[in-house]
Amino acid sequence: MKKNTLVMGLAAATLALAGSAIAWADDKPKVPDSIKDTTKEVQKEAEKQIDKTKKDVEKNMDKADKKGVKVGEAAPSFTLKDTAGKEHALADLTKGGDKIVVIQWFNPECPFVVKHYGKAGNTFNDLYTKYKDKGVVFLGINSGAEGKQGAGLEKNQKFVKDWKIEYPILMDMSGTVGKQYDAKRTPEMFIIGKEGKVAYHGAIDDDSKTEKPGSTNYVAKALDELLAGQTVTKAETQPYGCSVKY
């Protein structure tokens, strides 16, 4: 009996609380129209700001995408010294309109570069030998900062000698030229046509592993087409290798 009475009491209390809640909901104060209007205006302004921010972000992303030089654009000029201290200016090489310039971003301690010299293969020296008498100039650029992997004048002088590299390896320890071109990998390749515009950008070949050179040399194919007066059919590929050590 006592148990039933307790249950009945709890039920009554619960109903009373529910009734109070309903009454409060019915009697709660209404928000004035002026406050509603202000809230709508604030919301509208916030949406405008969000939209503006979104457009600004997209604009900045577009700018970021345009960093560096693209195929078909004029190659940025530069003047750098090689490992022997001799200056080389791109403008001097392209001003006559009769030279094609091949640029390789270089790091002698990067395994993706090493595989193209010595025992594994002799890709770059062979390319130089094949095309040097056909109006093609080869340049290597090391944009590594002092103290980083593969950087330093003496170290590069040693590798030039050991690997019997006959074309200039230019020192860009400030990284200025590398950043102009937005070079990210070693080896990363740029071919500049006779008119001074980038005709090819990307990998040296089709094998992104470190063991051996690939079966398809993109640079050789591009050079053959340019020398034949043709447009490069595969003007852009994905460069592979170590990151440039800025």
pLDDT band at 21 (very low <50, low <70, confident <90, very high): very low
Estimate to the nearest angstrom the gap between the alpha carbon of 70 and the chain centroid.
12
Tens digits of residue pLDDT in 80-102: 999 999 999 999 999 999 999 99
User: What pTM does this model have?
Assistant: 0.73
pLDDT for the residue 24: 39
CA atoms of 139 and 187, how far apart (whole Å): 12
pLDDT (tens digit per residue) in 29-82: 565 666 656 666 756 776 777 666 555 544 444 444 457 899 999 999 999 999
Strand segments (E) across 106-229:
136-142, 169-171, 185-186, 189-192, 198-202
